[in-house]
A and B are shown apart, each in its own frame.
Chain A
Amino acid sequence: MSYAFLRTAAAAGLVLVLAACGGEATESATGGDAASGSTIKVGLLHSLSGTMAISEVTVRDAELLAIEEINAAGGVLGKKLEPVVEDGASDWPTFAEKANKLISQDKVATVFGGWTSASRKAMLPVFERHKALLWYPVQYEGLESSPYIFYTGATTNQQIIPGLDYLKEQGKTKIFLVGSDYVFPRTANKIIKAYAAANGMTVLGEEYTPLGHTEYSTLTNKVVQAKPDAVFNTLNGDSNVAFFKQLKSAGVTAESMPVLSVSVAEEEVTGIGIDNIVGHPVAWNYYQTTENAANSKFVAAFKAKYGAAKVTSDPMEAGYNAVYLWAEAAKKAGTVEVEAVKKASGGIALERPEGLVTIDGETQHMYKTARIGIIQPDGLIKEVWNSGEPIKPDPYLKTYPWAGSLAS
């Protein structure tokens, strides 16, 4: 009898909770315009759950830091920024849904978000149809230039091609390609093969493993038997841990066969285990150790807010920059209205932690300095080579004659 009563009570409670949910959701549906109140709403859309959360949360944190700093300095156009955070849940359709929610319900002025190319591809139609702005902070495979997306990470000619230039300079002419099976590694490897053909390099092999794959003994054997001078690694996430461990136990060292990675940054090094990856090169546009005043300030502020043990990495810095670049464009435009911000953005140049960053108005990508670094015993990355000056973004590789067949 009492059990039946308990069940009835629980049922009633549940119905009440659900009813309450219903009431509130329709209420929150009536949001004002982005800039109509005393604050300007901006959306932050990253995966806070699922496999990508470990990486994307750090970018969200860097963006929140930028918003806090901008607000402390008086905000944008006299108004404070109000972040609206949503969870993309490592699920591409969810990214599209939440982007739609931020635009249609919260009426945010702009959205900072995404990490994987798949999430960007899923959000792209939402932003284009609603004529809203997305700032995407991660290096990617290029071959895209949406009028409603600003790309603050590197495109291929600012990361992969400099990486190849570096290997060539080091006399590494026989390379082996290892990657996770999705759009970025496949496209990157297409570019690498075209580059190799035009630059007298040979690609000894090309292997893909599913995302999240952790069994690398077969693959490592293949790589070792092919005897390449270097490996170009586009593996993502956990796979790197297993791959580098396996390589180490097969006797491969950074001296005998350097593995150049383009998806391993400070954040990932500790996960992989410093012992397993020390000495190997990586290609990015920013390292925690990059020396300039803006970076010292960024690193100090980040550690002060989130803890001294935290590291800063390239995607975090690109997310942090995105907020500042958008704020600068809005100030220049005198409004947060999308078309005006887009128009005002071209040519904006800011001294950022990675050095001078300039918005290329035509492609909405950034001029960025390419940097090759070597992983140090303390887990940080030391720069050993840079492009000297910011490289003009060329997402379709139009200025590279050997890449003619890629973009069509």
Chain B
Amino acid sequence: MTATLEKPPVTEAPVKEPRDWRGPALFAVVAIIGLVVMPLVLEPFRLGLLAKYLTYAIVALGIGLAWGQGGMLTLGQGVFFGLGGYAMGMHLKLNDAGDGLPDFMVWSGVETLPALWEPFRNPVFAIAMVVIVPGAVAWLLGTLVFRQRVRGAYFAILTQALAAAMVILLVGQQGLTGGTNGLTNFFEVFGQDVAADSTQRGLYFTVAIVLGILFIAVWQLQRSRFGRLLLAVRDGEDRVRFLGYNPATVKTITFTLSAVMAGIAGALFVPIVGIISPALLGVVPSLELVVAVAVGGRFVLVGAVLGAVLMGYAKTYFSEELPDAWLYLQGALFILVIGLAPKGIVGIISSVRESVAGRKKEVAA
């Protein structure tokens, strides 16, 4: 990791050991705010929205890992989000339907439950699929693509095409997937009334804790040997190859992990928001998440999470205050942040810190 690389800065490099306590302290503060303060302060509707932003943050964490750390610009995370979401949605629909058929099958003219659906009655199977299906798809795609050394813009376009294709597939199979409507109108989630405030509160804690755990896991991964190898692949893939590593394997593993995170986020999203539809996993939502990561700051994991929560919040806030013009404001926010601070909000914060530190030094001198 020498100075010959001029592009992305190597942040949080594991060189400065004395700073180590700050991260955990900040994490603890955020955890207290998230798990104690927010549930006390926010009313159920707002807490539900925050839970939704946190599911986006889980996807963003995966994008931060794949893009920020691994240099893989993935514009199709919605696909994995959707796979996880549909796996969960199918289970909830079957659970509600009991012996009958899910409501949309009735009005789509399906008379017997498709074989694909049957195993999703089992909650353990459904939850396993939330992880396995997105992971397997990403693994397969990664194996095929990274071995062929497809990267950069080509990889980005490929993932975006995947998102577009996925939407067409889901919309076309109305009897199997609910078409454009998607899956909605859930009553129960694991025996709890899905609309009850207590259930929604429980879901909020679940999402917050899952996000916390995944954050620590990715943080550790980033600090490990694998994490350094990943950075090396991002900054000089050919050099890594000449050193005897296989960059394709490193990238495939990372891409798969980010897909699994998106899948978990999708599964949590479904009972919280109460719907999963093709509109949630197409090109636009996939791009929105990448934009959120860019706004937050893609080179630091905190940036990805912060970006997702902030952009989610900004979308809600602007659209509630100015329903006619909110899209322009959201766009302006994006242009402002990226134009003034290519490293995102986290970049701004660290440059503020640096300039303050710089001034102190000047004064001291």
Contacts and interface: CB of A to CB of B under 8 A. Distances in A.
Interface of A: 4-8, 10-12, 14, 18, 21, 24-26, 29, 48-49, 85-87, 89, 91-94, 96-98, 100-101, 104-105, 116-118, 121-122, 124-126, 129-130, 141, 143-144, 181-183, 186-187, 190, 208, 210-211, 406, 408
A7 B279 contact: no
B212 to A, nearest CB: 22
Contacts of A6: 340
B310 interface: yes
A11 B181 contact: no
Contacts of B326: 49, 87
A121 B45 contact: no
Contact of A104 (B44, B109, B310): B44
A29 B43 CA distance: 8
Taking chain A's interface residues, is the majority helix, strand, or loop, or is none over half, making it mixed? helix
A100 B45 contact: yes
A98 B49 CA distance: 11
B31 interface: no
Contacts of A129: 195
A210 B168 contact: yes
A8 B279 CA distance: 38
Contacts of B345: 11, 14
Given A126-B274, A183-B174, A211-B180, A408 B323 contact: no
B351 A118 contact: no
Contacts of B195: 125, 129-130
B351 A85 contact: no
12 contacts: A87-B323, A93-B279, A98-B319, A101-B320, A121-B181, A141-B107, A181-B179, A183-B104, A186-B179, A210-B171, A211-B171, A211-B180
Contacts of B151: none
A49 B329 CA distance: 13
Interface residues of B, number: 53
A7 B340 contact: yes
A118 B181 contact: yes
Interface centre among B181, B277, B327, B351 (most CB of A within 10 A): B181
Contacts of A143: 107
Given A118-B181, A181-B174, 15 more contacts: A6-B340, A7-B340, A10-B348, A14-B345, A18-B310, A86-B320, A87-B326, A89-B319, A97-B52, A104-B44, A122-B275, A124-B184, A182-B171, A182-B179, A183-B107
B46 interface: yes
A395 to B, nearest CB: 11
Contacts, number: 144
A86 B323 contact: yes
Interface of B: 41, 43-46, 48-49, 52, 104, 106-109, 168, 171-172, 174, 179-182, 184-186, 195, 273-275, 277, 279-280, 310, 313-314, 316-317, 319-321, 323-324, 326-327, 336-337, 340-341, 345, 348-349, 351-352, 355
A29 B47 CA distance: 12
Question: 7 closest Cβ contacts across the A-B interface?
Answer: A11-B348, A129-B195, A87-B323, A104-B45, A182-B180, A125-B185, A118-B181
A21 B107 contact: no
Contacts of A141: 107
A118 B182 contact: yes
Contacts of A210: 168, 171-172
B358 to A, nearest CB: 9
Given A92-B181, A96-B273, A10 B107 contact: no
Contact of A97 (B41, B109, B273, B313): B273
A290 B313 CA distance: 46
A307 B53 CA distance: 41
A10 B336 contact: yes
A8 B353 CA distance: 10
A7 B341 contact: yes
Contacts of A48: 323-324
Contacts of A18: 310, 314
Given A96-B274, A210-B168, A183 B179 contact: yes
Given A29-B43, A93-B277, A87 B182 contact: no
Nearest to A190: B109
Interface centre among B180, B181, B324 (most CB of A within 10 A): B180
A33 B327 CA distance: 30
B66 to A, nearest CB: 24
A181 B327 CA distance: 28
A4 B179 contact: no
B348 A29 contact: no
Given A87-B323, A101-B45, A122 B277 contact: yes
Contacts of B107: 141, 143-144, 183, 187
A143 B43 CA distance: 36
Given A21-B317, A183-B179, A210-B168, A85 B323 contact: yes
A229 B286 CA distance: 45
A11 B182 contact: no
A7 B186 CA distance: 47
B236 to A, nearest CB: 29
A7 B179 contact: no
Contact of B314 (A21, A118, A208): A21
A179 to B, nearest CB: 12
A4 B280 contact: no
Contacts of A96: 184, 273-275
Contacts of B174: 181-183, 186
Contacts of B182: 92, 118, 122
A48 B322 CA distance: 11
Contacts of B321: 24
Given A11-B351, A121-B185, A408-B106, A183 B180 contact: yes
A100 B179 CA distance: 23
A122 B277 CA distance: 9
Contacts of A89: 319
A93 B266 CA distance: 13
A7 B275 CA distance: 40
A4 B340 contact: no
Contact of A181 (B172, B274, B275): B172
B306 to A, nearest CB: 11
B171 A122 contact: no
Contacts of B274: 96, 125-126
